[in-house]
Structure formats: C-alpha cells, structure tokens
Structure 1
Amino acid sequence: MGKFSENLKTCRKRLHVSQEVAAVNCKIAYTTYRRYESGDREPGLSTLCAFADYFGVTLDQLAGREPLPDTTDEGA
C-alpha cells in the first residue's frame, strides 16, 4: 500500500466513518473509493481535491509529501 492510500485510510478512520460514507461525501462510487484506499487505483486531481476538502488536509499531506496533522490533542 502506498503512502497516499495509507493516508486516505488514516484520514477516514480519524473521522470514524466507513468507506461507503466517505465515498458518498466525496461523490464517488464506493467500489472506486475502496480501490483508492487499497492502492489498486489512483484518483485524478478533482477527486484528490474532494478528498482533501472532506478530510480537512492539504494535497501534500494526503500524498505523503508532508505529515498529516497531529490529532492527539484535539478536544483539549
């Protein structure tokens, strides 16, 4: 699994949502989302932007060029 697919899964789990819920919110098919998270496919730019917006991260963070934001102190 590549860094993008790992980060996609991490972002989804941080929101405590299923793959299906993430897919619906990003306006893509569940099976397509599942393939992105498993590393079988890579999304185009518009889908990457939808993911970044939904998960509240930058494209560089999603791609693994920068670390994902630390969420250990959320809610403090």
Structure 2
Amino acid sequence: MTFSEHLLQLRKAHGLKQTELAPHIGISWRAYQTYERGHCEPQMSTLIALADFYSLSLDELVCRDWPKEPEE
C-alpha cells in the first residue's frame, strides 16, 4: 500500500472528510488533498501531526516495514 492510499484509508476509517481533517493537523484541505492524491509529500511537521492524530508511529503512518531482513 502506498502512503497516499494509506492516508485515504485512515481518513475514511475515521469517517472524516478532507475538510474536517486538515484543520486538526494545521494545513489547508487543498494541501491535504495533494498528499492523498500522491502529488506531493508532506513536510516532517505534517507527518508528525498526522501520526499523532491517528496515534501511529511515523513508520506505521508511511507504511514502512521495520526492521527489514538484511540483504545477502
């Protein structure tokens, strides 16, 4: 799952509209929309706000599998 897909899934699971979520994380809904569509990536401060809002770690928020098995 991509980061943008995950944002969409999280928002819908919480029953929120983009216009409802954006103020909680301190951005405009148009800025949020670009993240959900995969057109831009958020700044670190926005990632932290999203992770805090959803009670996730940054790794969970950005769909990062950690730790990865070392490559041989």
TM-score w.r.t. structure 1 length? 0.79
Residue 9 of structure 1 is matched in structure 2 by 8
Alignment of 1:19-38 (within 5 A): 19-38=18-37
Runs of at least 4 residues off by over 3 Å: none
Over the aligned positions, Cα root-mean-square deviation in angstroms equals 1.2
Q: Indicate the percent of aligned positions where both proteins have the same amino acid.
A: 38
TM-score w.r.t. structure 2 length? 0.83
Task: Give the unaligned 5+ runs of structure 2.
Answer: 66-72
SS at the partner of 1:6? helix
Residue 55 of structure 2 is matched in structure 1 by 56
Task: Give the unaligned 5+ runs of structure 1.
Answer: 67-76
**Highest CA radius of gyration, 1 or 2?**
2
How much has 1:62 moved relative to structure 2? 1.1
Kept after mapping to 2: 8 A contact 1:20/1:30:
yes
SS at the partner of 2:61? helix
- CA distance, structure 1, for counterparts of residue 47 and residue 61 of structure 2: 8
Count, aligned residues: 65
Kept after mapping to 2: 8 A contact 1:9/1:37:
yes
